Chain A
Amino acid sequence: MATATGAPKASFRLSMLLYDTRYRSMTIQVVVLLLFMAGVAWLVDNTIRNLETLGKDFSYGFLWNRAGYDINQTLVQYSNDSTHARAMLVGLLNTLLVAFMSCAAATVLGLIIGVLRLSPNWIIGRLTTVYVEVFRNIPVLLWILVAYAIFTEVMPPPNAFRGDTPTASMILFDSVALTNRYTAVPDPLFSRSLGNIDLGLFLVSVDLLAIIVVITGSILANRAILARATRVQNATGIRPVTWWKSLAVLVLPLLLLLVALGFHVERPQLRGFNFTGGINVSNSLMALWLGLTLYTTAFIAEIVRAGIASVSHGQTEAAFALGLRPGHTMRLVILPQALRVIVPPLISQYLNITKNSSLAIAVGYMDLRGTLGGITLNQTGRELEAVLLMMLIYLAISLVISGVMNLYNNSVKLKER
């Protein structure tokens, strides 16, 4: 049998770019890319020309000018003498705060409601179904506004706490006041404080650092105790009693530290127009938190339910047959397999919360959209710069969340060998 020793080398012709299947896809991609880049170039050029016509330049110099306005919730030092960049940082931290609070609360609630939806109990099953359907089918902005309206209209004004026969009273042993402006809660203070470290951008409380270090140390020590107990159990078959050791290691060091620092709380007092002395958690934060949490909880509950339902019932039966108790079955068999399905859509819910937090402006919560994209933009007239910067920051936050959650996903996903 004769075998071809190789096709005759055809010389390259230009028409082959279109008619030869080896080159055609490349040609199409190059043409589309060129068209796309031309479109982008036209848009950029158009922008530059229009800015020139308006006599505006493109500069971020305004970020270092005095902001001149006040912000009602600042997690770091800020006054109206600070720069616009500082105001942006304050807004960014407010955004991150509400996003973090909402993500945490929605995850916990979503997990509970997702599991309850699978409950064989008819009433619990139906109730959670109603919850999910009601909350996920009404726009989140309305939930935020409803929560805010309830806080504003139903709660008493600070004035109502005044006088000999006040119409409103504080709750929890006179330590918490619910008003139509904020919730006044006691402020934790240290009479022998260790002071602050100035990190340039913001101050970090040494007290807080000390507490974190002590708690971390306690947890590590507790782990060592438990590991030792397991070793003893493996060697002798008898597990030593550890609960009092764990309790002592977890609680005592923290208590000692708090006493050493002179920990006490300052109760909010009504002075002048408002409560002072405590921490005033604004209703706009509460409403935003509540609205975002209740809305996203419905989605997370569905994700959790779908994840658990995706694990075949045979797995549970097999685990039971091996003698595993229901708790162990859930933790060791069902959840690891369910997480594979749960985590990826959970990431998008976290991203949604972060982006939806920009609805804060509706309730006067000064997040990134309210400071950089609101007042700063308006006072300086730098629309293009402010909006671009804001988009870039939201993009960066989202990519970071996405990256971190993907790392987590890699660590929990089913290892296939």
Chain B
Amino acid sequence: MKNTVFLGTLAAAGLVAGFASAATLDDVKARGELNCGVNTGLVGFAAPDANGNWSGFDVAICRAMAAAVLGDASKVRFVPTTGQTRFTALASGEVDILSRNTTWTFSRDADLKFTFTGVNYYDGQGFMVNKALGVTSAKELDGATICIQTGTTTELNLADFFKSNNMNYDPVPIETNAEGEQQFLAGACDAYTTDASGLAATRAAFANPDEYVILPEIISKEPLGPLVRQGDDQWADIGRWTLNALIAAEEYGVTSANIEELSKGTDNPEINRLLGAGEDNLGAMLGLEKDWAKKAIIGAGGNYGEIFAATIGESTPIGLARGLNAQWTQGGLLYSPPFR
């Protein structure tokens, strides 16, 4: 009997492990809706408003995908995932794409069998503390209690950072950003660590953001990007080139204001190819409409720079500077391969 119980649980767990479908594009078209895995709530990146409408930097990627594939940016079902549930949700097919401040690492790419479709935000791990503590550097955090989201790369970076600096700490594992916020504000931890962009977004939601300071040390490289299941190259290509279209649009000066104008045809053949204004039909190569990129840019609410400015840029409460996330022509790392 115990044997059968064991086999039964084995099988049940196997079912959960899921069904990977080869042709995600066909599935999404048949469903008429894109399932997109996002954060459970990180202001600026992915958060629902009072009416339940999701908006944010990561959300815009999903809207662009939905617009490119289905022609309608509103046909997205957002699935909130925690640091722990996100990979299972993607691997099991519950979501078609995961756009949730996820760090591109070797083992996630090679061992967890995912394909990262690019980097939409170059980030690094930082620390936030209360100003009253008088701490000015992360190297002064010896013996501190630190809140950390479990199931993330930050957990491993933190262990490495304290080890290499010969310091001790007391980790407080938390499940979601909201929980971490509450613990940190209650003083249950001295410092809160996550990606610097996430810290800025979290701080922006505090009642008194000025009382908290983000320490200057950035202890890791965190290239954040959307990812899909490995093994469906067409779907990965759609994800990759949708992101590239948003980046390229900024580089070529295509904005939500002038896109209709430019899509009638311009002197720049690259813009014509991007927007489907010329002879070349790049969309067909992806299995999409000719004007897929135009729809994606409109659906996302503009090019990369416009999305950045509207969701997390310096004029928003989150107030992030472009920094590494500027175009390569501006000294940043954003560089889209040519549309040719």
What is the number of residues of chain B that contact chain A, defined by CB distance less than 8 Å? 58
The answer to whether B13 touches A274, judged by C-beta atoms less than 8 angstroms apart, is no
Partner of B6, one of A53, A70, A379, A392: A392
A381 with B112: in contact, given A43-B14, A375-B151 (CB under 8 Å)?
yes
A180 beta carbon closer than 8 Å to chain B: yes
Map CB proximity to A onto B101-121 as digits: 1 under 8 Å, 0 otherwise.
Answer: 000000110011100000000
Return the CB mask of A72-92 against B: 1 if under 8 Å, else 0.
100000001000000000000
Contact with B along A32-65 (1 / 0, CB 8 A): 0000100010011011101101111000000000
One of B41-49, B141-149, B255-263, B299-307 contacting the partner: B141-149
A157 in contact with B113 (CB, 8 Å): no
B91: nearest chain-A partner, CB-CB: A54
Complex CA–CA separation, A50 to B10 (angstroms): 13
Which chain A positions have C-beta within 8 A of B272?
none
- Is A152 close to B, CB under 8 A? yes
User: Contacts A68-B156, A274-B143: A378 and B87 contacting too (C-beta < 8 A)?
Assistant: yes
List A contacts of B20 (CB < 8 A): 50, 53-54
Residue of B nearest to A80 (CB): B159
Interface check B286, CB cutoff 8 A: no
The segment out of A118-126, A224-232, A242-250, A382-390 that lies at the interface is A382-390
Residues on the B chain within 8 Å of A291, using CB: none
Smallest CB separation, B167 vs chain A (Å): 10
B-contact bits for A377-417, CB 8 A (1 contact / 0 none)? 11111011001100110010000000000000000000000
A358 to chain B, nearest CB (A): 14
The chain A residue with its CB closest to the CB of B132 is A159
A370 contacts B111, C-beta separation under 8 Å:
no
Determine whether B18 belongs to the interface, using a CB cutoff of 8 Å to chain A. yes
Given A54-B20, A54-B113, CB of A46 within 8 Å of CB of B11? yes
- Judged by a CB distance under 8 angstroms, whether A271 is at the interface is yes
Taken together as a complex, chains A and B put the C-alpha atoms of A36 and B1 apart, in Å, by 12
A181 CA to B191 CA, complexed, in Å: 13
- A162→B174 CA distance, assembly (Å): 27
Tell whether B175 is near chain A: CB-to-CB under 8 Å. Answer: yes
Q: How many of A's residues come within 8 Å of B, CB to CB?
A: 51
* B156 x A273 contact (CB < 8 A): no
The 4 A-B pairs of least Cβ separation, nearest first, read A47-B14, A43-B11, A378-B151, A157-B187
Chain A contact residues, CB within 8 Å of chain B: 36, 40, 43-44, 46-48, 50-51, 53-56, 68-72, 80, 152-153, 157, 159, 180-181, 271-274, 276, 280, 283, 361-362, 364, 366, 370, 374-375, 377-381, 383-384, 387-388, 391-392, 395
27 CB contacts below 8 A, A to B, read A40-B8, A47-B13, A47-B15, A47-B17, A50-B14, A54-B17, A54-B91, A54-B113, A54-B231, A55-B113, A56-B113, A68-B155, A72-B171, A152-B183, A152-B188, A159-B133, A180-B188, A272-B143, A273-B133, A276-B143, A378-B83, A378-B151, A381-B91, A381-B112, A383-B16, A383-B91, A384-B13
> Which residues of B come within 8 Å of A, CB atoms?
2, 4-20, 83-84, 87-88, 91, 107-108, 111-113, 133, 141-145, 150-151, 155-156, 158-160, 163, 169-175, 183, 186-190, 229-231
